[in-house]
Amino acid sequence: METLWLSGLAQYQHAADNWFAAILIAVIATTVLVSIAITRSGASLYIRRIPGLDAIDEAIGRSTEMGRPVTMIPGMTAFGVVAVQALTIFKYITKQIARFATPMRLLTGDATVYAVAQEAIQDAYNEAGRPDLYDPDAIRFLSDRQFAFASGVAGLIQRERVAANFMFGEFFAESLIFAETGNIVGAIQVAGTISFTQVPFFVAACDYTIIGDEFYATSAYLSREPVLLGSLVGQDIAKLLFVLIAITGAVLTSIFGADAPVVKLLGQPGGWDAFFGGGQ
């Protein structure tokens, strides 16, 4: 019985063969945690401003001047990381809207996101000092069916002739319907999505498009939440570390060859043993 247990254990790679990966993970985790701690202490970490963010204030100002509503659409996003990021952005937009008493509509296709959105938008009005402007009917659950939801959004945009349309979240085939309808009524449109297959449609029909990782950077920048901001900066530092390791490995491999101990140190099983002479 003991022999079988030992033979079963032997199929797993020994931790000593992966010291480099373990150290790398520890460095990345430390970088993120230190960045969060620095942000929580009150220090300001730099994040480049994304051009689409400048358009948010411009679009809200235009809606106020025209007396037409602003629409915010998280798409068919189920409640999760993407929905939380989208609602963080919408909360910032709502605070700006509250300053000018501009009407707004938040349209969702998920019941859970709808419930959370009500709380988030109400908090935004309270934090802006205008709780009297909060209207529960402005947050609407239309349908959890894709094209029924798309039809409802398109109909509202056309009926109310919105002046600004913000789309942040996860979108599918309905994205072009939203973007084209907003384009028809002349709305300023800012879109951000993690769905790369929908990016071309937003680029073609929207004034500004926030792509990929910029979606998460946007919510971190706007909210200035220490955990979000620190995590973002820490991950960027980790990405830079990966790039430097890759470049170093390529240069060392070109000079010394792939079998050199110093090259094996950069991640090959047994690399540390070879480097320190333990593999001889």
pLDDT per residue as tens digits for the range 121-147: 999 999 988 988 998 899 999 988 888
pLDDT single digits (tens) 158-177: 999 999 999 998 888 888 89
Is 178 domain-assigned?
yes
- Contact status, residue 91 vs residue 121, Cβ threshold 8 Å: yes
| Residue 6 maps to a domain | no
Asked if residue 225 lies in contact with residue 45, where contact means CB atoms within 8 angstroms, the answer is: no
Residue range(s) defining the domain that contains residue 142: 51-225
Q: What is the pLDDT of residue 275?
A: 47
The confidence score (pLDDT) of residue 118 equals 93
d(CA 28, CA 84): 24
Q: Is residue 266 part of a domain?
A: no
- Cβ–Cβ under 8 Å, residues 244 and 235: no
Which of 109, 92, 91, 85 has the alpha carbon at shortest distance from 193? 85
Provide the CATH number for the domain around residue 129. Answer: 3.40.50
Q: What does the mean pLDDT of the chain come to?
A: 82
270 Ramachandran zone, left/alpha/beta (phi>0; psi -120 to 50) = left
The pLDDT assigned to 6 comes to 46
Domain assignment of residue 265, yes or no: no
* Strand order through the sheet with 70-75: 139-141, 104-108, 70-75, 164-170, 188-193, 208-211
Confidence of residue 19 (pLDDT cuts 50, 70, 90): low
Is residue 104 included in any domain, yes or no? yes
Domain count, the chain: 1
* Digit-coded pLDDT (tens) for 223-239: 777 888 888 888 888 88
> Is 105 within the bounds of a domain?
yes
In a domain, 107, yes or no: yes
192 lies in a domain?
yes
